[in-house]
Amino acid sequence: MESESRITEPGFLLLEDGTLFRGRLASDSALLPAVAEVVFTTNMTGYQEVFTDPSYRGQIVVMTAPQIGNYGVNAEDPESSAPQVAGVVVRELSETYSSWRATNGLGAWLAASQVPIIQDVDTRRLTRHLRSVGVMRGVIGAGTEPDEASKLALEECPSMEGLDLASRVSTRERYSWGDPRARHHIVAYDYGIKRNILRLFDENDCRVTVVPADTSADAALAEDPDGIFLSNGPGDPDAVSYAPEIIRTLATKGVPIFGICLGHQLLGLTFGGSTSKMPYGHRGGNHPVKEVETGRVLITAQNHGFAVEGDEQSVKGASDLEVTHVNLNDRTIEGLRHRTLPVFGVQYHPEAAPGPHDARPLFQEFLSALKGAIR
Amino acid sequence: MPKRTDLHRILLIGSGPIIIGQGAEFDYSGTQAAKALQEEGFEVILVNSNPATIMTDPEIADRTYIEPVTPEYVELIIAKERPDALLPTMGGQTALNVAMKLAELGVLEKYGVELIGADARAIAMAEDRKLFGEAMKRIGLAVPPGGIATTIDEAFDLLETTAFPAIIRPAFTLGGTGGGIAYNRQEFEEIIRRGLDLSPVSQVLVERSVIGWKEFELEVMRDCADNVVIVCSIENIDPMGVHTGDSITVAPAMTLTDREYQLMRDAAVAVIREIGVEAGGCNIQFAINPDDGEMLVIEMNPRVSRSSALASKATGFPIARIGTKLAVGYRLDEIPNDITGTTPASFEPVLDYVVVKCPRFAFEKFRAANPRLTTQMKSVGESMAIGRTFKEAFQKALRALETGRPGWTTATTLADDRLEDDSVETLRGALRQPTPERIFQVKRALSAGISVDELFELTGMDRWFLSQMKELLEAERAFASLKTIDKDVLWRMKRMGFADRQLADLRGESEAAARTRRLGFGVVPAYKMVDTCAGEFPSATPYLYSSYDEESEAPKSGKRSVVILGSGPNRIGQGVEFDYCCVRAALALRDRGYETIMINSNPETVSTDFDISDKLYFEPLTLEHVLDIVEREQPLGVIVQLGGQTPLKLTQGLEKAGVTILGTQPDSIDIAEDRKRFDAIARSLGIRQPDNGIATSLDEAVAAATRIGYPVLVRPSYVLGGRAMEIVYDEQSLRQYFERAARVSEDKPVLIDRFLEDAFEADVDAISDGERVVIGGVMQHIEDAGIHSGDSACVLPPYLIDEEHIDEMRQHTVALAKALNVVGLINVQYAIKDGLVYVLEVNPRASRTVPFVSKAIGVPLASIAARVMLGETLDEIGFTEEVIPAYISVKEAVFPFNKFREFDPILGPEMRSTGEVMGISDSFGSAFGKAQLAADNVLPAGGALFITVNDSDKHAVTPIARRFQEMGFKLFATGGTAKHLRGRGIPVETVLKIHEGRPNGIDMMLNGEVQLLINTPLGKESQRDDYTMRQAAIANHVAYTTTLSAANAACDAILSLRSRAPSVLSLQEWHARIPKEAGV
């Protein structure tokens, strides 16, 4: 357990509709103003995974759990090489941490990656506001009142809609993950892939070739994959305009394809569906998802602000797709499958991290669909 | 899978009397279960012997059996009602064990009754230590090394694997009863013997100690389609080695990464599946090694529990209600989340606040009992508090305990923090051995400069919690040294949960001044909602807590509202009966169109169920918190007379702040408590009181006692449950007493009354609307004067008091209610000696007998009281005449002597019972017999009676002995008693007293040669003998009585037992025997 010394300057979060939240900065004011879309997550554990999840790229994340930083940070839990979030808003950042696995404090770790953090904010008021009027852009600034520089930065911040962030977080070079002698070979399109997906493939006797988001179908097929994986990622799926064509080509070759989150949305778009921005998205580890076929309910990890349009009966505009999962809170589509091809996707995160492991068997399902798999 | 249509009639078993380890939480779960079943159209048959509960109110079930919760009686109910199913998981270990016994005996099969919620196989696998260990092995989960023993020898063999210290856990017991930690062979043997004795299957688990490991609990639910959700995680601040019921606990878990939490979650899901809880909930306990994260499964309860009640209140997810719906066939996704109203129950609650629960103990009542906290639960109640941070919730929860500490504050004396001296070594020693005061010793240690790391080594408390406490201490120090206080610093202190009183104490100011300054700065709390979803969805249910934050939710509705102050944590003298009254009031006033606002801090109760009142404030019951809420809600007024002493203590402060008190006014309460003012009124009404006096010093006390004449009854004024009340026989004892009592309440005088030896006592409950007074019930105590009314059995209507004396008591009660301008309830205690009626005490408020009387007469007194407090007349309500039932109701008290084995089970003026039971029948003997059975004092139908009484009782015991002899009992007695009885022609065998040699009475009890013991205190010289004798009776399950009146009643009961087969009748059937024109 270590104690961290702390900056306690006043700071604020200003939303684009003018709503102001005051707090104290727990990071260097030189990082400010920081602007981005402000979203909240209800995960009660796993802040380190959240902050390193590439799907949170370009977002200021509000933790609804009020005590953050209690167990510090460690080397095993990050979902990518560094924090991805544009800023962090919490009710109380722990001054100390305690865990046998901890290697550093959260505050120091975020500071090292130049991520601004503001605490002492009435995060419940903020969450309720975002929930009732929808997520919007915001700016974290220093001082008690918004300054001109912050206001200007907020004005200039682009909307999440139409933003292709996936291309920005995608790997520039292809790379391999896992044991080269593994039974299966997966080519994973990286739109912002989480490490735990790679870890799970590895655990399931797969080696993964991670390729940039714009890798052509031919190049992917040249890797001779047993299956194609479409990863999660940030931003507006519609803006990843090059992806559907690639995916369609791969699918028509009969290669099994599995998409998670953004990957799932891109599958929807590929087969004629559409996506739209949700009022405040799903972010957390407690979303009930029903498997349409069996009626079983899974408690799932989620992190998305866009969704494939449709309902429990059908994917709007995509008659080749059938709906396999729905969210029980708002009845949005959580999973789909192609009627004839070995293609399926889920909106939620079976790899969890953070979140419950209920949906892990989905990986098995994909694996059993792979070429050469023992069924 | 919707509701099952093959079931129509369901039997629900309650948990019986409140005992340590099985408290009010089962009234909460039972009431929820009954309501959930009725809502689904099932016919609900309910059995519970505890009259102080909401669940036994006649409208909660279709038929309510206030009968002993024993296999024998439940079988009678099954035979009569022929239910389709039995729900055994809502009534604690008691219900589970009775259900298991009925399954074993083939009763369920015989009558075609299905166990729902958890079947016999699952219950056995969870409760049987051996089967459970094997099940965990099958799913690859680790349990502490150890094994199962059914004999002493087997247990000693296990020591080879476990070594010392060893943990002993009996199978099928509740609250860790009979368990413990053994550090040596002698302790080991003692605990094993007791454990084997207390386990209904004579089985104990002996395991290696993981004392000091982090302790967690998960509340899990599973439906018939195998969907599983985790409702809540709970982390114990006190690590392994202290029973979770005695630990300070936090929800959600504070120190687990997602990786560790999900491992635990996966394990919990695997456990509930393997054990096979098909449709319902369970609680699973885990231990985690703080050095490397190694995880062990400790145990699982396949039913709702104290922890599930806490988890329900902590999250807003009503586990008992949902569990009941699962048991009748629903799936989680088919049940709505009642708090949001828009989302299903198939989700896992997320918290955007921190919940802290603190146990409340009663060691001040059991001075001889060992206050060391172990794996056997010893607390009698608990408080819960909610804050936005741990620091805030922690301080609020400690404050809500109502033990005089306004937060995390050390006591003024070392003794009150259970320290012998102020050396650091003493402190270190104390910290290693958990007691209720350890959390305050931690503060002393931090103040003394002991590091967080060392404290972790000493206590095993996680460094994170210790650091949070250290931050509190540092904040206090900084605040105390500030030159001036500005708004900003005050805001920050309030955000850490400091009460105005704490801040005032830090700066040597008055609480009032601190409050005034705070309000001057505009520093007021915000009220946030508990909504199960951290704000993600709109919520319709105003379940609120305070925090110093920006935004308040659930604003004032504009409706006419009433605030009801609850009774806080359960304690001896203030238990579920007051919660009962508060709930009745809330329901009655809601029904009359008022917005009802409940304030309470007790998570075990029905009153803190979010659907009982229109608004629930889960807050400590202190003046600061109550005034803040009243300020915000601007109610018509506040009801203080239903929650026991807790709200009563706030009355003066509330009145001073200009708050309207509904019903009886504070001045009348003061008159009743103020000896001089009350004397004047009693005199003017011509009501006789025992000679009495007041003393503020020892000299005054001696003078008063001499004037009055010994024996005298002494007690501090303004006390609860006869706290520190004693009968004093001479001046020397008075002097000794006065030293002790002066410490109990410093600025309040000591009251001295003449003690009326061998008097009859009676209680009268009545209700007044300010004009008319109607008697609720006259109860005769079974035990003689000198035994606290809460500890005495009583009977309604009276069976041995002359009608003229009953009438006199009625008249006095009416006169007193009028003189005190009572609007609401009043309770008067009387003694009758030598044909004269004396008033002992007047309480212008709800008494603990209100629920008992209400059930006996079929009139909900507390509901009516709430209505008259808001201006309705008794005439309008239709309750104008006393109801005198044509049947007999007996109330009996239940004691924790089994838990505190080292404590003498003798009764006295200080209350020690934790709960009560009721027996109803058409004869006194039969009703008393049922009450005894329900209180687990099983009277023998025949056999041997052993009598050993003091000299003054020898005369009175003679006719009792004769009755037993005529019934065919074989009589034994010690020398003097035997001689006396033989002299009166009663054949009796002489038995040696303990100090006289062997074989003696104890040998006989150990050999099973005695079935009933009559033992009255023999005086100082043989105190030790007496005590040992009673201990032996408890340990060997020999029925015993320590008063002659109870012995006489036992005789009646045994006669009745022998003359007729046991029978059962529902409360509704009894009430139907009350003539229609009476009552409402």
For B720-772, write each residue's pLDDT tens digit. Answer: 666 778 888 889 888 888 777 655 445 678 889 999 888 889 999 999 999 99
Q: Would residue B293 be called left, alpha or beta, if left means φ above 0 and alpha means ψ between -120 and 50 degrees?
A: left
Tell me the percentage of chain B whose pLDDT exceeds 90. 79
A4 in active site? no
Give alpha helix (H) positions in B460-592: 463-481, 487-495, 500-506, 511-520, 576-591
In terms of Cα–Cα distance, which of A57, A239, A234, A274 is closest to A163?
A: A239
B624, B515 Cβ separation under 8 angstroms = yes
**pLDDT one-digit tens code per residue, B121-149:** 999 999 888 899 999 999 999 999 999 99
pLDDT bin (cut points 50, 70, 90) of residue B172 is: confident
- Chain B residues in contact with A123 (beta carbon < 8 A): 352
User: Is residue B192 within 8 Å of B204, Cβ to Cβ?
Assistant: yes
Residues from chain B that touch A68, judged by Cβ atoms under 8 A, are none
Q: Is A322 among the catalytic positions? A: no
> Positive or negative CA dihedral for B596, B602, B607, B610?
positive
Q: What does the pLDDT average to over B88-102? A: 95
Say if residue A3's pLDDT is above 70. Answer: no
Query: Where does the pLDDT of residue B171 fall: very low under 50, low under 70, confident under 90, or very high at 90 and above?
Result: confident
HEC letters along B267-305? HHHHHHHHHCCCCEEEEEEEEECCCCCCEEEEEEECCCC
Nearest-by-CA chain B residue for A286: B348
How many whole angstroms separate alpha carbon B643 and alpha carbon B658? Answer: 21
| Chain B residues 430-459 within an 8 A CB cutoff of chain A | 452-453
The interface predicted TM-score (ipTM) is 0.97
Local confidence band at B492 (pLDDT 50, 70, 90 cut-offs): very high
What is the overall mean pLDDT for chain B?
Answer: 93
Q: Does B594 touch chain A (CB under 8 A)?
A: no
The predicted pLDDT at position B329 comes to 95
Mutate to test the interface with B, among A12, A67, A92, A332 (most CBs of B within 10 A): A67
Task: Give the pLDDT score at B260.
Answer: 97
For A:173-192, CB contacts with B below 8 A are none
Instruction: List CB contacts (< 8 A) between A69 and chain B.
Output: none
Specify the CATH number of the domain A2-156. Answer: 3.50.30.20
A261 carries an active-site annotation? yes
Q: Within 13 A of A345's CA, how many CA atoms are on the CB side?
A: 28
CA distance, residue A306 to nearest chain B CA (Å):
17
- Can you give the pLDDT at residue B291? 95
- Mean pLDDT calculated for residue range B914-928: 96
For B566-606, the pLDDT digits (tens) are 999 999 999 999 999 999 999 999 999 999 999 999 999 99
Task: Please give the residue that has the higher pLDDT: either B1028 or B46.
Answer: B46
φ and ψ at residue B88, rounded to 5 degrees: -100, 0
How confident is residue A1, by pLDDT bands cut at 50, 70 and 90?
A: very low
| Gap from A202 CA to chain B (nearest CA, Å) | 18
- Region at B938 (left for phi over 0; alpha for psi -120 to 50; beta for the rest): beta
Say yes or no to pLDDT of A286 above 90.
yes
Assess contact for B960 and B941: CB atoms under 8 A.
no
**Cβ–Cβ contact B343 with A under 8 A:** yes
Nearest CA in chain A to B214: A99
Contacts with A176 (C-beta within 8 Å, 6 or more apart), sequence order: A207, A208, A209, A210
* Model pLDDT for residues A221-276, shown as the tens digit of each residue: 999 999 999 999 999 999 999 999 999 999 999 999 999 999 999 999 999 999 99
Question: Chain B within 8 Å of A71 (Cβ-Cβ)?
Answer: yes
In tens, the pLDDT along A58-79 reads 999 999 999 999 999 999 999 9
Does the CB of A241 have a partner CB in chain B at under 8 Å? no
Q: What is the pLDDT of residue B720?
A: 60
Q: What is the pLDDT of residue B744?
A: 44
**Closest A-chain CA to B335:** A328
pLDDT above 50: residue B46: yes
What percent of chain A is modeled with pLDDT above 70? 97
Interface test with B, best of A70, A97, A129 (most B CBs within 10 A): A70
d(CA B436, CA B381): 13
Residue carrying the six token digits 């002992």: B840
Confirm if B645 and B720 have CB atoms less than 8 A apart. Answer: yes
**Any idea which residue has 């008794």 for tokens?**
B874
CA gyration radius, chain A: 20
φ/ψ of B146, rounded to 5, equals 160, -160
Instruction: Please give the helix or strand (H or E) that residue A80 lies within, else none.
Output: none
Domain locations along chain A = 2-156, 166-369
* Interval A311-364: pLDDT, tens: 999 999 999 999 999 999 999 999 999 999 999 999 999 999 999 999 999 888
For residues A82-88, average pLDDT: 97
Residue B882 has pLDDT above 80, yes or no: yes
Angle at B830 between CA B825 and CA B833, to 5 degrees: 170
pLDDT in tens, B1031-1041: 888 888 899 88
Report the gap between the CA of B653 and the closest CA in chain A (Å): 32
Structure tokens at A134: 């929808």
Lowest mean pLDDT of B757-761, B854-858, B873-877, B971-975, name the range. B757-761
Tokens at residue B944, please?
A: 């041997």
pLDDT at B21 over 90: no
| A8 lies within 8 A of chain B by CB | no
Distance from C-alpha of B232 to C-alpha of B240, rounded to nearest angstrom: 19
For residue B331, list chain A residues with Cβ-Cβ distance below 8 A: 295, 297
Domains of chain B (ranges; CATH) run: 9-124 (3.40.50.20), 141-294+303-356 (3.30.470.20), 393-520 (1.10.1030.10), 538-663 (3.40.50.20), 691-747 (3.30.1490.20), 915-1059 (3.40.50.1380)
- Cα B524 to its chain centre, rounded Å, is 34
Q: Does B679 touch chain A (CB under 8 A)?
A: no
Shortest distance between the Cα of A51 and any Cα of chain B, in A, equals 13
Contacts of B227 in chain A (CB under 8 A): 296-297
Exposure string of B956-970, with b = 16+ CB inside 10 Å and e = fewer, is ebbebbbbbbeeebb
Task: Read off the pLDDT of each residue in B830-857 and give the average, rounded to a whole number.
Answer: 96
Q: Which CATH architecture has domain A166-369?
A: 3-Layer(aba) Sandwich (3.40)
Q: How confident is the model at residue B1022 (pLDDT cuts 50, 70, 90)?
A: low
In tens, the pLDDT along A167-214 reads 999 999 999 999 999 999 999 999 999 999 999 999 999 999 999 999
Q: Does B352 touch chain A (CB under 8 A)?
A: yes
Neighbours of B652 (CB within 10 A): 15
Nearest-Cα residue of chain B relative to residue A360: B266
- B830 has a pLDDT exceeding 60: yes
* CA B778/CA B797 separation, integer angstroms: 6
Does B604 lie at the interface with A, CB-CB under 8 angstroms?
no
Give the pLDDT confidence score for residue B1027 in this predicted structure. 77
Residue B200 confidence class, pLDDT cut points 50, 70, 90: confident
Tens-digit pLDDT profile for residues B351-405: 999 999 999 999 888 877 889 999 989 999 999 999 999 999 999 999 999 999 9
CB B796 within 8 A of CB B853: yes
CA-based max dimension of chain B: 86
The active-site residue out of A37, A184, A185, A261 is A261
Share of chain A above pLDDT 90, in %: 90
DSSP letters spanning B171-204: TT-STTTT-EEESSHHHHHHHHHHHHHHSTT--E
Phi, psi of B680 (to 5 degrees): -60, -45
Tell me the C-alpha distance between B925 and B190, whole Å. Answer: 38
CB contact under 8 A, A356 and B254: no
Q: Which of A4, A79, A334, A351 is catalytic?
A: A351
B336 touches A: beta carbon within 8 Å:
no
- pLDDT of B511: 96
Tokens of residue B702, six digits: 């001696």
Q: What is the pLDDT of residue A2?
A: 45
The 3-state secondary structure of A167-209 reads HHHCCCCCEEECCCCCCEEEEEEECCCCHHHHHHHHHCCEEEE
Q: Which pLDDT does position A375 carry in this prediction?
A: 40
**Do residue A288 and residue B550 have CB atoms under 8 angstroms apart?**
no
The whole-number average pLDDT for the span B444-452 is 98
